[in-house]
A and B are shown apart, each in its own frame.
Chain A
Amino acid sequence: MNAPFLPGSGFSDPVLGPQKIFRVMLDAMSRPGLVQTVPDVGVRGPDGAPREAFALLLALCDHDTPVWLDASLRQSAIARWLAFHSSAPTTSDPALASFGVLPLGCDAPAFEDFAQGDARYPDRSTTLLVLCEALVGGEPLTLEGPGIESRVSIAPRGLPDNFTAQAQENHRLYPRGVDFLLLAGDQLLGLPRSTRIIKETR
């Protein structure tokens, strides 16, 4: 109990804070490809991830939602911070995870190794928080599907290797599959499994 642990802080307003974050995530998931701005709700975590990532995790996670972290994050202050504020257990088994965090340059398991849900309960699947360098300036991708009027173009930079091919395969599993939240600084973009991703050819 006496370890040098810096707890940072949770939501300054425990009611409105998470509601604001939920609103942004709801908008991101229901309008895939449309960039949202995550407000500052007072959440501060250790170094190694943007404060917005901590706010999203704190709004989403609790004791019932195992969070997959890679081996280095599991040993880090981030894991301890998450446990302290959300009581969420961390797991090394992607198939058990309700949420997963993919930091920049992380060596992530294949997306199909995360919980995919089943035909009866497609919601029992993992939502992956993917940390990017920026949501612009990367390889352009065209999105189609529910929540998109015709087509929308995105260009996130710093995605994990092979992200696009895997996300395309993930879409084919619909209604099963994982969902993605791409975050760079305070910029957030939702990429649910229902969205079709097309590589732009020039």
Chain B
Amino acid sequence: MYVAVKGGEAAIAATHDLVAQARRGDPNVPELQVAQIREQMKLATARVMNEGSLYDEDLAALALKQSQGDAVEAAFLMRAYRTTLPRFGSSEPVDTAHMAIRRRISAAFKDLPGGQVLGPTYDYTHRLFDFALEAEGAAPQPRECDCALAAHMPRVLDLLGAEGLMETEAPPSGDPAPTDVTRDAAVFPAGRDARLQMLSRGDEGFLLGLAYSVQRGFGGNHPFAGEIRMGEVSVMFAPEELGFEVDIGDVTLTECQMINQFTGSSEAPPQFTRGYGLAFGQSERKAMSMAIVDRALKTRDLGEACAYPAQQEEFVLYHCDTIEASGFVEHLKLPHYVDFQGELELIRKIRREQDERRAKAPKIEVEA
């Protein structure tokens, strides 16, 4: 039960001032500009956009500044702001095959049509500190190739359908509009559309842990990174008032297609099955974790036994949301005086009754 508390206004106002001062830190150090965060903390802003479920790099940068870099608090700011905005509609599904590629790799196929490009990645760095970054200096001029990449790079897994060894991904008949868990609360068993939406909004750390559990054996199948691509995709929107679709700009997306071995079941023949991850910005760890967990949650569809935590959709989906999880855990900080008083009274009463029962109980004399 919730019981309101009153008071504390002056203390709360004072804490607002104090947190502002704490956020600013030493005034002798120049203040961070939002644009600096947007340009130089791109991976942090991407995480805030994903878990805040709102693509807006400037807002994500502001959220990080306001929250002193706390990604969860920043995502909360994004979610709260989102609720104040009207929704104009839904985009056409983004076409990741027509991505302006900035990174594209496959750990399963060496030779891809269009080639593999590493793009900006930390994968092949040595994880040694670059103390030069402590001093301000110009970044090295990147190398350039004479020719640009192909404008259209087909998705690798689409090329593999021919042999029939790969699970196909096709729209269900009628290409229905997806469920929106922000409008209608998820029901279980959840459709793939609801699952993917919830994973998209899900906490990177939680999904990473679950994906790791799948790989370590708590999931029963070994994933391969079939393709990971990152780059800019144009967003197409057909407003009701216009009646035709328009291109409204680009978003940066990371897409991951995982391939998993599958020995077959009564429902499906032995084949490779797929897991899918899609994330805002450059968010490779998130997209990969999402793809592995998406595949793990397909157990019911494929007639597999549901034996591991990552396969239990109510467990995974109900607990992956950053904002819900942090809200419920952190609300324990707020006054629960009446609740606790009630519990205290209860324990005292039980004790008292127990003592009374003991006092009344006839003493049994045992002769020695």
Indicate with 1 or 0, residue by residue over B170-202, a CB within 8 angstroms of chain A CB atoms. 000000000000010000000000000000000
Contacting residues, chain A, for B239 (C-beta < 8 A): 87
Tell me if A's interface is mostly helix, strand, loop or mixed. loop
Interface residues of B toward A: which range?
10 to 19
Given contacts A62-B87, A64-B183, A87-B88, contact A1 B240 (CB under 8 A): no
A11 → chain B closest CB, angstroms: 13
Contacting residues, chain B, for A62 (C-beta < 8 A): 86-87
- B169 within 8 Å of A (CB atoms): no
Query: Which residue of the partner chain B has the closest CB to A86?
Result: B240
Indicate with 1 or 0, residue by residue over B233-245, a CB within 8 angstroms of chain A CB atoms. 0000001111100
Contacting residues, chain B, for A84 (C-beta < 8 A): 240-241
Contacting residues, chain B, for A172 (C-beta < 8 A): none
Interface residues of A toward B: which range?
10 to 19
List which B53-97 residues lie within 8 A (CB) of chain A: 86-90
Complex CA distance for A84 and B86, rounded to whole angstroms = 15
Let me know if A87 and B241 touch, CB within 8 A: yes
List which B82-124 residues lie within 8 A (CB) of chain A: 86-90
Given contacts A63-B88, A64-B87, A64-B183, contact A88 B242 (CB under 8 A): no
Contacting residues, chain A, for B183 (C-beta < 8 A): 64
Let me know if B87 and A89 touch, CB within 8 A: no
Contacting residues, chain A, for B87 (C-beta < 8 A): 62-64
Complex CA distance for A84 and B242, rounded to whole angstroms = 7
Given contacts A62-B86, A64-B183, contact A89 B240 (CB under 8 A): yes
B182 → chain A closest CB, angstroms: 10
Interface of A with B (CB < 8 Å)?
1, 62-64, 83-85, 87-89
Query: Which residue of the partner chain A has the closest CB to B239?
Result: A87
Complex CA distance for A87 and B239, rounded to whole angstroms = 7
Centre residue among A84, A85, A88 by max chain B CB count within 10 A: A84
Q: A1-B242, A87-B240, A87-B241 are in contact. List 18 more A-B contacts (CB 8 A).
A: A62-B86, A62-B87, A63-B88, A63-B89, A63-B90, A63-B240, A64-B183, A83-B240, A83-B241, A83-B243, A84-B240, A84-B241, A85-B241, A87-B88, A87-B89, A87-B239, A88-B240, A89-B240
Complex CA distance for A67 and B240, rounded to whole angstroms = 12
Query: Which residue of the partner chain B has the closest CB to A85?
Result: B241
A92 → chain B closest CB, angstroms: 15
Complex CA distance for A1 and B88, rounded to whole angstroms = 18
Contacting residues, chain A, for B241 (C-beta < 8 A): 83-85, 87
List which B224-276 residues lie within 8 A (CB) of chain A: 239-243
B16 → chain A closest CB, angstroms: 26
A45 → chain B closest CB, angstroms: 14
Query: Which residue of the partner chain A has the closest CB to B86?
Result: A62
